[in-house]
Amino acid sequence: MKTAKLPKQRNLWFERLMAITATVNLGLVLFDLSYVPGRDFYLRRLPQVTQIYDQIKGIEPHRDTNRYLETVAALEEEVSQVGLQSPQVKTKLEEIRRLSSEMIDSNPFAGVDKSGTLEKIKNRMRDRTREESAKRAFATFWSQPYLSQNGWKQEINFFNQKIRPLIAVNYYRRIGENGEFIDDFWIIDLPFVILFGVELLGRTFSIKRQHPGLSWLEAVLWRWYDLFLLIPFWRWLRIIPVLIRLDQARILDLHLVRRQIHQGIVANFAEEITEIVVVRVINQIQGSIQRGELMRWLLQKDNLRPYIDINNVNEVEAIAGLLVQTIVYQVLPKIQPEIVAILRHNIETTLHQVPIYRNLQNFPGVGQAQSQLSEQLATQIITNLYSALVSAVKDPVGAKLSGQLVQSFSEALGAEVQKKQVLSEIQSLLFDFLEEIKLNYVQRLSQEDIDQIIEQTRHLRTQASVPTLVDKATALPKTRKR
d(CA 99, CA 64): 8
DSSP alpha helices (H): ranges in 36-62? Answer: 39-45, 47-56
Q: Model confidence at 345, in pLDDT bands (50, 70, 90)?
A: confident
pTM of the prediction? 0.58
The pLDDT, as a whole number, for residue 472 is: 43
CA distance 474 to 76: 90
**What is the C-alpha to C-alpha distance for residues 373 and 348, in angstroms, rounded to an integer?**
10
Distance CA 189, CA 235 (A): 10
Alpha helix stretches (DSSP H) within 107-143: 115-129, 134-141
Q: Is 181 helix (H, G, I), strand (E, B) or coil?
A: strand
Looking at every residue in the chain, the average pLDDT score rounds to 79
pLDDT digits (tens, 9 = 90+) for 396-414: 776 666 666 666 666 666 6
Average pLDDT value for residue range 32-40: 93
Distance of CA 324 to the CA centre of its chain: 49
Contact 438, 444 (CB under 8 A): no
Q: Are strands 59-61 and 171-173 parallel, antiparallel or unpaired?
A: antiparallel
pLDDT in tens, 49-108: 999 999 999 999 999 999 999 999 999 999 999 989 999 999 999 999 999 999 999 999
For residue 338, CA distances in Å to 104, 323, 343 come to 107, 21, 9
Q: Helix (H, G, I), strand (E, B), or coil: what is residue 172?
A: strand
> Which helix (H) or strand (E) segment is 59 a member of?
strand 59-61
Does the pLDDT of residue 46 top 70, yes or no? yes
In terms of pLDDT, which residue wins out, 114 or 417?
Answer: 114
- Amino acid symbol at 129: T
Q: Which pLDDT value is given to residue 110? A: 92
